Structures are given as C-alpha cells and as structure tokens.
C-alpha cells in the first residue's frame, strides 16, 4: 500500500463478529466499511440469551468449544479473553453481572443495550455502514480485493473480513452466504449442521405429553455408550424434546446422526434419587394405600399427563387395577422408566430453531494467530462462519469477540 494512504478494510457482515471486527480495525486507524445484507445490523445479537445477551462466561476453557480442530480457537481466546470482553463492554457503558454457571449478562438485562453501544462506537469511529448490501462477488486483485454487491455496486478493499455467520436462525439473516465467497477463494467447507437445537424423537405418544417440564438428566447414547450428559429443565414437545440440557447435547447427537449412527437419548426424571431410594419410596406409597389404582397412585408425585404414558411404556396393560395387584416385574419396569427412559433420536429441529452452526469454513486454511487466510493474503475470518462452535452459555459470543479482535487487529496492521 502506498505510503500515507489509509488502509481500506471491508467487513462483510454486520452481526456480532462483524461489528466487533469493524470497531477494532477502526480504532487502529483503518478506513472501515461494513456491508450488511439485512435492513439493520446486529439482528441476531438482539435474540441472544433470550433477549438478554449472554456476553461471555467466567469459565472460559477450550473444552467448551467444538469443531474438527477446536485447538484452533486457543490463540484467539487467549488474545482476547472473557475478562477483556467484560472490560471492553464496561468501557462502552455496559455494566455486567454474573449469573448461574458463570454466565455474564448486561446489568440492564437488555441485548439491545449491547447493540446500542456497538452501533454508537461504529458511528463515533466514522465507520461506513451500507445496509441491504448483499455481497455476491469477492475477487482478489494485485493489491487488494474487489467486492461486488447484488445491486451491482463495487467496493475496493485492501483487506476483507468475512463475518457472515453460519446458517442458524436464517430469519435473523444467517443464510450461509459467506461460504461460497470463501470457497471461491479456495477454502474448504466442513458441512454445516444445526447445533444448540431441539431434538426430534421417534415415539408416537409425544402429542400426549407435549408441554410437560421437569428437572431431569439427559444422556446421548450410541451403541449403549454414554457420549454426553446434561442436567436441568427438560421439556417434551410435539416433535421431541427441548430444554437447556438438550441444547447442550444436540451437537453430539447431530454429529452422530450425520455419521449414520443410531442415536438414543436417555432421560432420568428423578436424577437425584438412587434406585433404592425410589424403590423404597414407591413401595411405601403403594403399601399405605393398596386399594388405589396404579394410575391414581402417582397423583401428586409426577405430572398427571405423564402418568398414563409412563405406565404404558412400563408395560402396564391395566393402569386402573389396584396397586396391590402389581407384580414385582411390573414394579421394576416402572422404576426403570422413571430412571432410564430411552427415546430414539431421528434428527434435530431446523436451522430456524438452531442457535448456532456447527461446521463451516475449514480452519486448517486459516492462521490461528491472525485469522488470515493461508490461501488469499488479506482475507480474514471472524465468528460463526468458521468450523468452531461453543456450548450454550456465552461461549459463542466470546468466540465472536475473540476471533473478531484478531481479525480486526490483523487486518488494520500495515
């Protein structure tokens, strides 16, 4: 670049990673332009953390990240960690608070406040924002790039940051539009699939129990082996099962389904009870009122809507018979269902329901220390477009901030 000329950086995508990368590059003196295909920037930020924006997590460990090479994320997470993220947003006016499991939220409980301060900083730095600018072409030049939008406009850039996100939540603008741009530069794509999403189950009785919530333990099983487990509020739906533990487990389930494995989810409805404790409790309950019907004997213990399904799954043909008529085998089968109820997983919910994308641009062709392409000098990546995804709880936004920090810093470096 000629001496004295300001470095031009074009950021494709105005989501969390794009806005952050633009701010970092702008603070380092680059002339930055954001090209956003939507009518406004940061739509997905508004939906994060159930509208509260889970900024980061105090337990920042690599174990919370996934992909074909999760180790790739380490340098970015070290270069801009959770404490630096908190400090950065505090500097913009976002007071923070830490909640259960280390989740960090704005004190205002409003995701809109996070977007407001990022937009304010973008404006303060004089960063140009072009809305409804869908990029359809990215071409390498001798000393930069030619960026073309769908409406025929062209933008010259010395450096380009691809921050177009993945495919999760297409209603908020994530359509995978950045993948072909990267592929045209020679980058490989790890086939994307939905993560942090509900699971679909095969059972025909789901309509009977939809809407039932309970505190339970869920495990993903393949060939009878437990691959992952999570505890918390579970919710049966018309199509399957949902709740925070299921979101945490969904990536493991989806990845195995993608590999044509038979996947099961095991549900323990009373995870804090040992089998002996449960057996003793039920025995006493039945012994105290032996004339009660098996069905009615569960009133006040488990959800009434759930009882007939549980009993049917336990093989109880006549649920109206008195509990004193239960055989030892039937009692054992009821205990089994309450502590080890297994459902075959048939798939995940759609991209519209997913919170994040697993898969994406293969990180083998990206420099982990700078986020620069190894195939096209001057091309950088930030956020969900790459094959790195995090657990639920602020980890994906932290990846957006960390990767965008390196991309913005490196792109603005003369």
pLDDT tens, residue by residue, 257-268: 999 999 999 999
pLDDT tens, residue by residue, 14-52: 999 999 999 999 999 999 999 999 999 999 999 999 899
Mean pLDDT for the chain overall: 96
CA distance 338 to 274: 11
CA distance 11 to 32: 7
Q: How confident is the model at residue 5 (pLDDT cuts 50, 70, 90)?
A: low
**% of the chain beyond a pLDDT of 70:** 99
| DSSP H stretches of helix in 109-260 | 111-124, 178-183, 206-209, 244-258
> What b/e sequence results for 288-298 when a residue is b if at least 16 CB atoms lie within 10 Å of its CB, and e otherwise?
eeeebebbbbb
Residue 199 · residue 240 · CB < 8 Å: yes
pLDDT tens, residue by residue, 215-237: 999 999 999 999 999 999 999 99
pLDDT tens, residue by residue, 41-85: 999 999 999 899 999 999 999 999 999 999 999 999 999 999 999
Residue 206 · residue 344 · CB < 8 Å: no
Return the bridge partners of 341, or none: 267
Domains of the chain by residue range? 8-193+357-411, 198-348
Q: In sequence order, what are the residues at sequence separation of 6 or more whose Cβ sits closer than 8 angstroms to the Cβ of residue 300? A: none
The CATH class, in words, for 8-193+357-411 is alpha beta
* Sign of the torsion angle spanned by Cα atoms 357, 361, 364, 366: negative
pLDDT of amino acid 173: 87
CA distance 194 to 166: 10
Reply yes or no on whether the pLDDT at 2 is more than 80: no
Reply yes or no on whether the pLDDT at 3 is more than 90: no
CA distance 383 to 54: 16
Residue 131 · residue 40 · CB < 8 Å: yes
Q: List the one residue out of 375, 399, 342, 310 whose CA is nearest residue 16.
A: 399
CA distance 368 to 131: 30
pLDDT tens, residue by residue, 169-207: 999 989 999 999 999 999 999 999 999 999 999 999 999
* Sign of the torsion angle spanned by Cα atoms 64, 67, 69, 75: negative
pLDDT of amino acid 414: 79
């Amino acid at each position: 670049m000629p001496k004295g000329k300001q470095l031009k950086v074009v950021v494709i995508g105005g989501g969390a990673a794009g806005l952050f990368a633009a701010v970092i590059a702008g603070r380092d003196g680059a002339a930055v332009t954001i090209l956003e295909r939507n009518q406004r920037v940061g739509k997905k930020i508004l939906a994060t953390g159930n509208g509260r924006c889970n900024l980061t997590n105090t337990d920042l460990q690599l174990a919370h990240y996934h992909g074909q090479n999760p180790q790739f994320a380490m340098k970015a997470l070290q270069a801009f960690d959770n404490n630096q993220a908190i400090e950065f947003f505090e500097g913009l006016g976002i007071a923070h608070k830490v909640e259960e499991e280390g989740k960090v939220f704005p004190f205002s409980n409003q995701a809109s406040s996070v977007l407001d301060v990022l937009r304010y900083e973008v404006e303060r730095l004089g960063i140009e924002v072009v809305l409804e600018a869908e990029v359809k072409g990215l071409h390498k030049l001798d000393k930069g790039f030619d960026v073309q939008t769908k409406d025929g406009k062209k933008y010259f850039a010395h450096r380009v940051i691809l921050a177009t996100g993945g495919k999760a939540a297409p209603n908020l603008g994530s359509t995978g539009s950045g993948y072909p741009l990267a592929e045209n530069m020679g980058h490989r794509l790890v086939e994307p699939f939905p993560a942090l999403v509900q699971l679909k189950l095969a059972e025909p009785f789901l309509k009977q129990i939809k809407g039932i919530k309970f505190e339970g333990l869920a495990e993903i099983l393949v060939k009878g082996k437990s691959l992952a487990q999570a505890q918390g509020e579970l919710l049966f739906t018309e199509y399957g099962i949902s709740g925070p533990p299921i979101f945490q487990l969904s990536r493991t389930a989806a990845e195995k389904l993608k590999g044509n494995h038979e996947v099961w989810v095991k549900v323990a409805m009373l995870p804090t009870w040992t089998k002996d404790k449960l057996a003793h409790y039920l025995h006493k309950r039945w012994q105290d009122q032996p004339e009660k019907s098996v069905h009615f004997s569960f009133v006040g213990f488990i959800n009434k809507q759930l009882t007939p399904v549980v009993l049917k799954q336990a093989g109880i043909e006549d649920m109206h018979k008195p509990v004193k008529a239960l055989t030892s085998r039937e009692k054992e089968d009821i205990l089994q269902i309450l502590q080890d109820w297994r459902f075959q997983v048939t798939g995940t919910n759609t991209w519209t329901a997913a919170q994040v994308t697993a898969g994406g641009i293969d990180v083998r062709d990206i420099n982990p220390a700078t986020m620069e392409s190894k195939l096209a000098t001057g091309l950088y990546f930030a956020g969900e477009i790459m094959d790195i995804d995090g657990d639920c709880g602020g980890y994906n936004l932290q990846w957006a901030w960390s990767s965008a920090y390196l991309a913005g810093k490196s792109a603005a470096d003369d």
